[in-house]
Structure 1
């Protein structure tokens, strides 16, 4: 089953902060007085049924086209005609300078260029202000989740896994491994239903059933909830808050679920990452059940972020949320 849920924001009992990626968000929820939002998620495409995701954005009523991301013409990214370059001004003609009567100082040799500062693994020193949270949705499974965990373990990185309840029930060993290796867990509903189309009691059941399953495996209920497809309205917000969770979204969508080529995944990352970024990826599902590109891209994502001075944290660490362990 495919997911995506979009997370830099403020927490508070009466405050809703929405940090959506410009022109791509299709879910402009109206804040509930009791709702607490972390990076109000940007909507993902929603299938009419099954795992296929058409190119439609989800609004509170499940409709609405996804706006295209525009690039100004004349840029390297724009397929349009480049902007005409203005000719340079003709340089002014000047006479030969008069010889100086003052003695000229002998130029001092230039100082040798400073050697670049490097940290562990020849990476630049991490900037404490540049934090990023890697997140993985829709797991666990027995194929891709363990590969992702292996990469994260080798790189000494903790991430956040938003898991589907029925998958957790099927792979309790993977849930135990996620928790034991220091990663954060989040509730991603029981079966990846589009919550904005469900009655109130069904929304609460999607949340509570997954909570109970995770508690039976780990001994605790996670603090975070991420809505399937990023589809959120006032009722969903209210139910998430009533269940004791914080609503989490994302700020960088790698589109990895759609068999997106590795180079394109990296291009999305480069364009959208900023300090405090929450990166959306998947640890199960994918188009035709294939997330090979996700696994291939992950080491390069980590390398790019480290080369640019980022420190990896979990979503609770990023927002100072105490996990209910």
Structure 2
């Protein structure tokens, strides 16, 4: 993957660049360039090849740049941004070295994961894959509403970037009318009474997954098809600025101040849904919203029940 990204970085969409030039710059053979770039479509990159001229990108790639991302942060921000070309998991890297305010973004993740162990991959240049490390004085039990607060921060950033149709699904999904556009994965470590070090992992599709993610178990969508006005660096910077503000407020006040805003973005508010529990039960009911701690409120038969994200999976009623 490192070699593929290195080759792609030598190309652009405005002119053809010969394989000989790429090979010379990278210190590899022309055959190596050809074989490497032949794999590009597997990862969502279309390349035009023309004999005697070389290679040209079908669509420009805006590579992530820490300085451009940092330009979108608030003055005095505590966030420290770095970018990796390829990594197994940005969350794993931050968990290995939990440093408050550290941000790690990647062009590609080989072992990206979602909730309940599901895999998550993005297309090179067509997604945002990043994690943010944050330390809370409270223990993990006090952070139930955190993924929902993170969702509010991302919805603010994405709405302000032109994608007003984005909605939130409890507890950690970003939805567009055509399907899932992103997800949030929180992984915590620390003492039960605190402090807790949290790696907040986020994946967002800028363009809809196609050939580069054939193993999808649900429909997916991309922000670019829904009016996105910002490039990758600007959107990442804006998202981080909103996250920093929300996390600081969450640290002081918990989820309660974000409850109403989250419900306004709730894709399934008032809809008939099914909750699937770890023991295999399926409970049908109406999604009423969320409690002040972030628990899902469901009307099941004549009773209101509350569910927590670690316990259940939520689906539309079949």
Shorter-chain TM band: under 0.3
TM-score normalised to structure 1 length? 0.22
Q: Which one has the largest radius of gyration? A: 1
Higher relative contact order (CA 8 A, sep 6+): 1
- TM-score (normalised: structure 2): 0.23
Query: Would you tell me which structure has more strand in proportion to its own residues?
Result: 2
